[in-house]
Amino acid sequence: MSSRTKEELENLIEETIDIYPEKTKKDRKKHIQVMGVEGDQKCTSMVSNKKTKPGVMTMRGCAYAGSKGVVWGPVKDVINISHGPVGCGQFSWGARRNYVNGTTGIDTFPMQVTSDFQEKDIVFGGDKKLSIIIDELETLFPLSKGIVIQSECPVGLIGDDIEAVAKKKKEEYKKPIIPVRCEGFRGVSQSLGHHLANDSIRDHIYEKDVKGTSIKETSYNVALIGDYNIGGDAWASRKILQDMGLNVIGQSTGDSTINEIANTSKAKLILVHCYRSMNYIARYIEEKYGVPWLEFNFFGPTQIYKSMRKIAERFDNNIKEKTEYLINNVYKEKTDQITDKFKVRLEHKKIMLVVGGLRPRHTIPAFNDLGADVVLAGYEFAHGDDYQRTEEYLKHATLIVDDMTEHEMDKFLKTYKPDMFGSGIKEKYQTQKAGIAFRQMHSWDYSGPYHGVDGYAVFARDIDMTVNGHVWKNITPPWKSCSTETCEGPNCNCANDK
């Protein structure tokens, strides 16, 4: 076991933050805690969802990223306009790999549209330009079911009235034109963008009584939300639910449509995979329509089977019996074969995770299924309730870090020397140059799916390929880059290892 004691972890925290000025040190200590066995500090005392200190290179994204890149971007039958300079729209184009079924330009519109703000637009405003763009899009793509306006920072600073433009064009074209005030400077992180996008779904779909499509009324109708179909994740999750005998009448927002989103309110149960990004709309639908919701986790066999049984408990004996049969006679044999194949290669491997506001706690059990040991879990934009949901997944005292700084990342990589670090694209190349294997855990490093039984096979293969890749044996990390004879003293990279 590669775990450390609570005392060792607390000493590591003090050693890490000691470099900061006193005020920053006091603040950061509230964001780094020891949880799990031996960690008697409770996650309720963890400080989170606070603004990053100025000057710190943060792993976070912005509100625009949360709205366009996560929630609205995957909806396939609407066109997203990135309203502002070209940079944000270009950076967000295709970054999440949200797979869709359909024909581009007919029933799917995964292209990037930007209003490409120039200096004159900042001076004179971009409302007229936005209006012209919507007209052009209607000429080019009349089959789209709606348009979503994603506002970038300058739009909020100059005061463009995107709501007025959207209202006028909605009346003209008789389809949803949805403005989202998701300027990047708003809020703490991309988490506010999720919330704003959820609110726009509420205001422009449910409050406007978009009817959706006609569906067959059964007691087995469920809706899948908070699954963005990265690498086909939602398809793998949907397959399990259908095998259980459930009827998935809508999924959002991966490979989804406006009508499917509207149909969510007709379900008997809403199943939430990414709690952090879409719990807002789930709570709203429960309050307005009386449809209960349930969080589940389809990462790794332990949580897949636990979630399947939890979902089945909400239905009759027919679903319960079918679920038990699936687990014991179909799925378990498959997942056991995968585990047996890869566990011998991954057992006791040390994993560090710093991802979003959900994935560390969702993927920790999947790593444990393969015998790997998660020694540190960090969250980019988690809220207090996310930390409350984390402790049950920790089998030993574990360092939990909120909004990790670049200094902390370097320190923890050097201290733990993990076999793999899973995080976002900004951390990838810095980690690899340090001679440590890296996996992009936001979009699966161009692989997937990772959800469900089918996804577990891909996940296990990718983690093995990453951790046991031969290339890492040929890279010298900074802390091994000088010898005793050439060491330059206390500021040398290798000083703490001597």
Average of per-residue pLDDT values in the chain: 92
Cα separation, 258 vs 107, in Å, equals 11
In this structure, the dihedral spanned by the alpha carbons of residues 298, 304, 308 and 309, taken in order and rounded to 10 degrees, is -140
Q: What is the mean pLDDT of residues 206-226?
A: 93
Question: Does residue 494 carry a catalytic annotation?
Answer: no
Catalytic residue among 60, 96, 273, 359: 96
CA 441 to the chain's CA centroid? 8
Tokens of 136: 């052009």
Question: Does residue 194 carry a catalytic annotation?
Answer: yes
Q: What is the mean pLDDT of residues 428-437?
A: 90
pLDDT tens, position by position, 452-473: 999 999 999 999 999 999 888 7
Residue 395: the pLDDT is 83
188-197, 296-305, 336-345, 468-477: range with lowest mean pLDDT: 468-477
Question: What sign for the dihedral angle of Cα 35, 36, 42, 43?
Answer: positive
Q: Domain 6-59+332-467 is of which CATH architecture?
A: 3-Layer(aba) Sandwich (3.40)
Does domain 63-206 correspond to CATH entry 3.40.50.1980? yes
Tokens of 153: 């920072």
- Strand 146-151: give its sheet, edge to edge: 113-114, 78-83, 146-151, 177-180
Q: In percent, how much of the chain has pLDDT > 70?
A: 94
pLDDT tens, position by position, 255-310: 999 999 999 999 999 999 999 999 999 999 999 999 999 999 999 999 999 999 99
Element (H, E) at 378: strand 373-379
Task: Say if residue 478's pLDDT is above 90.
Answer: no
- Strand 350-354: give its sheet, edge to edge: 32-35, 398-402, 373-379, 350-354, 420-423, 438-440
Q: In percent, how much of the chain has pLDDT > 90?
A: 81
Cα separation, 364 vs 394, in Å, equals 8
Which residues 6+ apart lie within 8 Å of 182 measured at CB? 63, 64, 66, 67, 68, 150, 151, 192, 193, 196, 197
Check residue 34 and report its DSSP letter.
E
Q: CATH 3.40.50.1980 occupies which residues in the chain? A: 6-59+332-467, 63-206, 221-329
Catalytic residue among 43, 62, 153, 182: 62
Task: Say if residue 489's pLDDT is above 70.
Answer: no
Cα separation, 352 vs 441, in Å, equals 11
Residue 498: the pLDDT is 41
218-227, 294-303, 443-452, 466-475: range with lowest mean pLDDT: 466-475
Tokens of 360: 């560390």
At 224, the pLDDT band (50, 70, 90 cuts) reads very high
Residue 1: the pLDDT is 45
pLDDT tens, position by position, 123-172: 999 999 999 999 999 999 999 999 999 999 999 999 999 999 999 999 99
Beta bridge mates, 224: 251, 271
Cα separation, 338 vs 371, in Å, equals 12
Collapse the DSSP code of 239 into the 3-class scheme (helix H, G, I; strand E, B; otherwise coil) and give the result.
helix
CA 227 to the chain's CA centroid? 9
Task: Say if residue 484's pLDDT is above 80.
Answer: no
Q: Which fold has domain 221-329?
A: Rossmann fold (3.40.50)
Cα separation, 82 vs 67, in Å, equals 11
Q: Where are the alpha helices (DSSP H) in 141-232?
A: 153-158, 162-173, 190-201
Cα separation, 438 vs 71, in Å, equals 26
Cα separation, 91 vs 105, in Å, equals 22
Task: Say if residue 495's pLDDT is above 50.
Answer: no
Report which residue type is found at 15: E
Collapse the DSSP code of 66 into the 3-class scheme (helix H, G, I; strand E, B; otherwise coil) and give the result.
helix
Residue 348: the pLDDT is 95
Whether 31 contacts 56, CB under 8 Å: no
Catalytic residue among 63, 65, 223, 372: 65
Tokens of 180: 């989202």
At 441, the pLDDT band (50, 70, 90 cuts) reads very high
Task: Say if residue 481's pLDDT is above 80.
Answer: no
| Burial bucket for residue 175 (CB in 10 Å: 0-12, 13-18, 19+) | middle
Task: Say if residue 183's pLDDT is above 80.
Answer: yes
> Quick one: angle between helices 425-433 and 406-416, nearest 10?
40
Residue 496: the pLDDT is 47
Cα separation, 421 vs 59, in Å, equals 14
Task: Say if residue 358's pLDDT is above 50.
Answer: yes
Catalytic residue among 31, 194, 195, 204: 194
Cα separation, 340 vs 149, in Å, equals 49
Tokens of 459: 């996940």
Q: Where are the alpha helices (DSSP H) in 379-481?
A: 384-388, 406-416, 425-433, 452-467
Q: What is the mean pLDDT of residues 20-41?
A: 85
pLDDT tens, position by position, 77-124: 999 999 999 998 887 776 678 999 999 999 999 888 999 999 999 999
Q: What is the mean pLDDT of residues 424-430?
A: 90
Whether 352 contacts 413, CB under 8 Å: yes
Residue 42: the pLDDT is 58
Cα separation, 402 vs 376, in Å, equals 11
At 357, the pLDDT band (50, 70, 90 cuts) reads confident
| Burial bucket for residue 257 (CB in 10 Å: 0-12, 13-18, 19+) | buried
